[in-house]
Structure 1
């Protein structure tokens, strides 16, 4: 599904429709999507450096998705009911871009330590 660039913001509390929760989770048209190819630091991470990197990853994901149209390639759901998908802009995985920038790592089927 091609999504035209739309103003995504950082998610606030309450109902979520079109926003970025963290570096690997977004809400698009009311659907909660987990970027299937990456893992990013947690906003409530175990150390200050993880929390700071999580904020940078989230902000960067907002900027990437707001820069132009992107494609959502869905691949199922996870145990939390989130849609698993890889997002692409200009033929490149958004997750790969975050990895290249040091804001994410490749998803290995388990959380990696960031501290």
Structure 2
């Protein structure tokens, strides 16, 4: 049976050995967040009123640093002029989920073949660690992949 002084000595020796191993190896391996592969980060709210800087309009439209961005790889249900109550409900869920995803950490904005759409919105795919945030909404049933036209969600 190990007594208290022996336990303390063994614990101290193990901790010292672990510290030295980490220190001599150059420290812990950096995580992808520490490396900084995704350059952008902001605190996103829900868009209200005319002053829009970094906020979420709906599941596929955001404002980031004063620029209006249409998320190019998805289409989400409408909330401004929904075709039915279920479309509006699903659209609200998509908006809240996109806000949560954006606020979870840094992200990248990937350009596509066109810089802007017909409404002057920047067209971008939003990714984190190479994964599309839009695809997460698709997998969760809150969006569909963009097919070049809006579908009827009712």
Q: Is the structural similarity TM-score above 0.5?
A: yes
Q: Give the TM-score normalised by structure 2.
A: 0.72
Gaps of 5+ in 1: none
Map residues 73-92 of structure 1 onto 2, 5 A cutoff: 73-75=110-112, 76-92=115-131
Which of the residues 1, 13, 25 maps onto 2:49? Answer: 13
Residue 63 of structure 2 is matched in structure 1 by: 27
Higher share of residues assigned helix: 2
Q: How many residues align?
A: 114
Larger RCO: Structure 1 or Structure 2 (Cα < 8 Å, ≥ 6 residues apart)? 1
Match for residue 97 of structure 2 among 60, 72, 85: 60
Partner-residue secondary structure (3-state), 2:92: helix
**Partners in 1 of 2:75 and 2:54 — Cα distance?**
21
Structure 2 Cα separation of the partners of residues 114 and 90 of structure 1: 30
Tell me, in whole angstroms, the C-alpha distance in 1 between the residues paired with 2:109 and 2:101.
Answer: 14
State which structure, 1 or 2, has the greater radius of gyration over its C-alpha atoms.
2
RMSD: 1.0
User: What are the superposed Cα offsets for residues 21-48 of structure 1, whole Å, 9 maximum, x if unpaired?
Assistant: 0000000000000000000000021100
SS of residue matched to 1:32? strand
Determine helix, strand or coil for the equivalent of 1:2. Answer: coil
TM-score by length of 1: 0.96
CA distance in 1, matches of 2:89, 2:128: 25
